[in-house]
Structure 1
Amino acid sequence: MADYPHLQTTVLDATDVRGLAEFYRQLLGLQYRPGDEPPVDGSADELEWLVLTDAHGTRKLAFQAVPALPRVTWPDASGVAQQLHLDLTVPDRDALEHQRERALELGAEQLLDRTDDPDEPLYVFADPAGHPFCIFVA
């Protein structure tokens, strides 16, 4: 018997499950769990749950359908709190700029530029559903 539970995956709510899963699949180089791939004929799907894995099949992120999702207003504390965010790291400033461009091209919105921080340069983004995430130099 294990002494502690095992964290299986992080689940993000989305009104467009496929769209958000596709954003993170492309951003992070992940793949769909077998059976969760998009329809081969290109038709829309109505799935309420999708899972992304790494190349070894380890679950990394899951997406759950919700009817509505209020957009986070962070860093404005007077509105909707972020409650959770993802931290993503890159090895250096060149990679940080490259990944910033990729995130924006994939549909992220830049919320904060803290690249002038000499100890931990970073960008904060909102994904297409409004969930915040950071990319910073580790």
Structure 2
Amino acid sequence: MSGYPVLLHTAIDAHDCRGLAEFYRELLGLHYRDGDEPPTDGSPDDASWLVLLDDAGDRVLTVQEKKDTTPPTWPSEQVPMQMHMDFKVPTADDLERHRERAETLGARLLHDRSSDDEEPLYVLADPAGHPFCLLVQQGRP
């Protein structure tokens, strides 16, 4: 045991808890914790806290319902972002593929820095308005 706290997951607020969980589940290839799957029997989906796991079964993200949240207006500071996530990809081709896929899933492009020689990236907003980056990490950790 290290003596330091260990990050369990990142929690994201959203008006539509299931909708945002589905976006990140699809974008990142995650799956729901047992019992958090969408109902299949026609019953209402009243989820207010959903946990997404990676293939090893580790928590990665949670989405919690927050009806009074206001989407950030990045790059404007009118409504500042409270957090953002960065996702790395290995190549520029992967960067383009994942940007297109994210947009197909409901993300919108906020900033294009894909031609940057040192660290090509896109800033996108998820369906709830939270900014996140897709980037090609080159050289430095």
Q: Which runs of 4+ in 1 moved over 4 A?
A: none
Distance 2:93 2:41 in 1: 38
Match of 1:35 in 2: 35
SS of the equivalent of 2:62 reads: strand
Question: Per-residue deviation at 1:3?
Answer: 1.6
Which consecutive residues of structure 2, in runs of 5 or more, have no partner in the other structure? none
Match of 1:96 in 2: 95
Letter matched to residue 7 of structure 1: L
**Greater displacement, 2-11 / 29-38:** 2-11
**Greater displacement, 43-52 / 30-39:** 43-52
Question: Per-residue deviation at 1:71?
Answer: 1.5
Question: Per-residue deviation at 1:83?
Answer: 2.0
Q: TM-score, normalised by structure 2?
A: 0.93
SS of the equivalent of 1:56 reads: coil
Task: Give yes or no for the alignment of 1:87 onto 2:86.
Answer: yes
Cα shift readout 1:24-68 (whole Å, capped 9, x = no counterpart)? 000000000011011123544011100000011100000111112
Cα shift readout 1:78-132 (whole Å, capped 9, x = no counterpart)? x011121000010000000000100000000100000121000000000000111
SS of the equivalent of 2:68 reads: coil
Letter matched to residue 33 of structure 2: R
Tell me the matched-pair count: 137
Identity %: 57
Structure 2 counterparts to residues 8-47 of structure 1, below 5 A: 8-41=8-41, 43-47=43-47
SS of the equivalent of 1:11 reads: strand
Match of 2:116 in 1: 117
Match of 1:72 in 2: 72
SS of the equivalent of 2:123 reads: strand
Distance 2:67 2:10 in 1: 19
Distance 1:19 1:42 in 2: 17
Q: TM-score, normalised by structure 1?
A: 0.95
Cα shift readout 1:1-36 (whole Å, capped 9, x = no counterpart)? 752111100000011000000000000000000110
Which consecutive residues of structure 1, in runs of 5 or more, have no partner in the other structure? none
